[in-house]
Chains A and B, each alone.
Chain A
Amino acid sequence: MKLLKAPLFWLIVGVTAIFALLPLLSNNITLRETLVLSAIYIILAANLNLMIGYTGYVNFGSIVFFGLGGYLTLWLVGSHHWGLYSAVLVAGVSVSALAFLLGIGILRLRGAYFALATIGVNEAVKDFVSNFDVWGGSEGIFLPFTAYKAMGGAGKALWTVYLLIVLVMGSSLLLSLAVRRSKFGLGLFAIREDEDAAVVLGVKAPLYKTLAYSLSAFLPAIAGGLYFFKNGSVVPEEAFNLNLSIEAIVMVMLGGQGTVTGPTIGAFLYERLRGMLLTIPGLSNFHMVIAGVLLLLIILFAPGGLMGWLYRIWPRLRRVLE
């Protein structure tokens, strides 16, 4: 396979291995909990990038996939005693299928109208779930402690789930790389640059956009399942947190939309920054202010983000980091 020859492929494998091994070998739980958040952010940013960066459609409500994945997983594990693996897989496939159906409708909209519709989707799902008794309504779902028993107790289960989240992170990055180098990706880029021209050139834009939207839902849904399983509970406010959706956009823009490397770096840097701001006393939620200012500055002065800026001063980098 040609992908195996790409330097970036091995870089992704390397980074994923570091994420997995660093806390595991030192048996450092604090480090693990820091990295798990980074990994989740990277997953959200990388998959959101398939829409924003590749297809040119700004999805403000990408968190809905993450939240639904979490709900489905906890419901299957908690109420139906499924194993974690089959539960997250079913959650991923179902959310992806739902996104496909939804996409057929809302992807007829373009630009700001699409962005508004995606906010609507998230809020509508949040309201629905808040009133959906099967899923605990506004109180959400709590996993009984016995759910971890099948995985060798809570301590061991948390390590397993951590490694799975890192695996999903690696898969997200490889997916970004594979799509970027594929015919499908070329079609998406053409849609991003000029949808009307792309259609005239033969790109089946309605299908391609919908597939991209559906694809960008799959891994975040699995990640949501793993993340909320690890937490042991899921409530509507946390699952469908619009703030996190917007922060994911900041991560993508900060690193550089449309690149494979950019959103990863953006997500990592943003997580560090957020962590720092959260520990300063008296500044709770100050990170949202920083996020807003950051987004404004990027859009105004560096629309290509960090990678766009790096490519400009060092064009040869484009071939290695894509």
Chain B
Amino acid sequence: MKPAILEVRNVTKAFGGLIAVKDVSLTQYQGEILGLIGPNGAGKTTLFNVINGVYKPTSGEVIFEGQKISGLPPYEVVRRGLARTHQIVKPLNEMTVLENVTVGACFGPQNLPLEAAQEVAAEVIEFTGLGKYADVLAGKLNIALKKRLEVARALAAKPRLLLLDEVLAGLNPSEVAKMLDVIRAIRDQGISILMIEHIMQAIMSLSDRIVVLNFGEKLAEGSPDEVANDPQVIEAYLGDPEMAKRILEEEEA
């Protein structure tokens, strides 16, 4: 078994009385794509925010490459090689695509000077298929391109672990296919990926393993097949399959 790159240990995050994430533990191994799924409000994005330092966990800790990163501010976390994208895109609107990606390259773990960062950014922009938009203001891009810009910016940091938060949401099927190619290409570079996704076909085909969250707690963990056939998971998504049958039986009786 490959060494772990990320360990989430008993993480709980409460906002006042609301417990968004409750005692969640998970381990991600190097080079693997780990899928994180669960119904709306299950705490997936909150868990991302705890992992990359936007929130401090109420209890528990996050270990990245053997070092504790929980409690560090986000800019320290990314400097250690852990980058992320946002579900709700956050483009730097009045800056060009190239400048946006240069920010990622400049302030990432490599801490590159401006000119070297611009070169890295140009490469990443080509790699993610944003080449012809390099000089376009980020605010003028459509949503599919903004999502790709999110990925490009995170990638420009040359992270060893990349957190992708619903990069496929809101894309049409051909855009999804293009993004999937990008994600596979990222994995082939040896970058580990932890991704939240709602499009089941995509996450089932991409992920090596999947973790399911429901109401802030870990419901299941395993290969895509195991998770898809887990009765608890089916219930969380579709409701109790036996319920209709029971109601029918009760009415007959």
Q: Is there contact, CB below 8 Å, between A200 and B52?
A: yes
Residues of A within 8 A of B107 (CB): 187, 201-204
A294, CB-defined interface residue at 8 Å: no
Q: Is there contact, CB below 8 Å, between A205 and B113?
A: no
Residues of B within 8 A of A198 (CB): 92, 103
B86, CB-defined interface residue at 8 Å: yes
Residues of B within 8 A of A187 (CB): 103, 106-107
Q: Is there contact, CB below 8 Å, between A190 and B103?
A: yes
Q: Is there contact, CB below 8 Å, between A202 and B99?
A: no
Nearest to B117 among chain A residues (CB) is A183
Known: A183-B117, A189-B92, A193-B95. A200 touches B103 (CB 8 A): no
Number of A-B contacts (CB under 8 A): 75
Known: A200-B52, A200-B54, A200-B84. A186 touches B103 (CB 8 A): yes
A196, CB-defined interface residue at 8 Å: yes
Q: Is there contact, CB below 8 Å, between A197 and B86?
A: yes
B73, CB-defined interface residue at 8 Å: yes
Shortest distance from the beta carbon of B86 to any chain A beta carbon, whole Å: 7
Alpha-carbon distance A4/B75, docked complex (angstroms) = 33
A293, CB-defined interface residue at 8 Å: no
Shortest distance from the beta carbon of B144 to any chain A beta carbon, whole Å: 19
Which bucket holds chain A's interface residue count?
A: 20 to 34
Q: Is there contact, CB below 8 Å, between A200 and B86?
A: yes
Alpha-carbon distance A200/B114, docked complex (angstroms) = 18
Please indicate which of the listed interface residues A181, A199, A204 has the most CB atoms of chain B within 10 Å of its own CB: A199
Nearest to B94 among chain A residues (CB) is A193
Q: Is there contact, CB below 8 Å, between A186 and B90?
A: no
Residues of A within 8 A of B90 (CB): 194, 196-197, 200
8 A Cβ contacts from B52-77 to A: 52, 54, 73-75
Residues of A within 8 A of B104 (CB): 201-202
B108, CB-defined interface residue at 8 Å: yes
B206, CB-defined interface residue at 8 Å: no
User: Which of A182, A183, A193, A203 has a CB less than 8 Å from the CB of B75?
Assistant: A203
Shortest distance from the beta carbon of A274 to any chain B beta carbon, whole Å: 30
B93, CB-defined interface residue at 8 Å: yes
Task: Encode B93-113 as 1/0 by CB contact (under 8 A) with A.
Answer: 111000100111011100001
Q: Is there contact, CB below 8 Å, between A201 and B153?
A: yes
Q: Is there contact, CB below 8 Å, between A202 and B108?
A: yes
Q: Is there contact, CB below 8 Å, between B106 and A189?
A: no
Alpha-carbon distance A189/B95, docked complex (angstroms) = 8
Q: Is there contact, CB below 8 Å, between B157 and A202?
A: yes
Residues of B within 8 A of A202 (CB): 74-75, 78-79, 103-104, 106-108, 157
Alpha-carbon distance A203/B113, docked complex (angstroms) = 13
Shortest distance from the beta carbon of B78 to any chain A beta carbon, whole Å: 4
Shortest distance from the beta carbon of B140 to any chain A beta carbon, whole Å: 13
Alpha-carbon distance A201/B53, docked complex (angstroms) = 12
Residues of A within 8 A of B117 (CB): 183
Residues of A within 8 A of B114 (CB): 181-183, 186
Shortest distance from the beta carbon of A309 to any chain B beta carbon, whole Å: 15
Residues of A within 8 A of B54 (CB): 196, 200
Residues of B within 8 A of A203 (CB): 75, 103, 107
Residues of A within 8 A of B113 (CB): 183
Shortest distance from the beta carbon of B21 to any chain A beta carbon, whole Å: 19
Alpha-carbon distance A183/B99, docked complex (angstroms) = 11
Task: Encode B136-169 as 1/0 by CB contact (under 8 A) with A.
Answer: 0000000000000000010001000000000000
Residues of A bordering B, CB below 8 Å = 181-183, 186-187, 189-190, 192-194, 196-205, 258
Residues of B bordering A, CB below 8 Å = 52, 54, 73-75, 78-79, 84, 86, 90-95, 99, 102-104, 106-108, 113-114, 117, 153, 157
5 closest cross-chain pairs (CB), A and B:
A202-B107, A193-B92, A197-B90, A202-B78, A183-B114
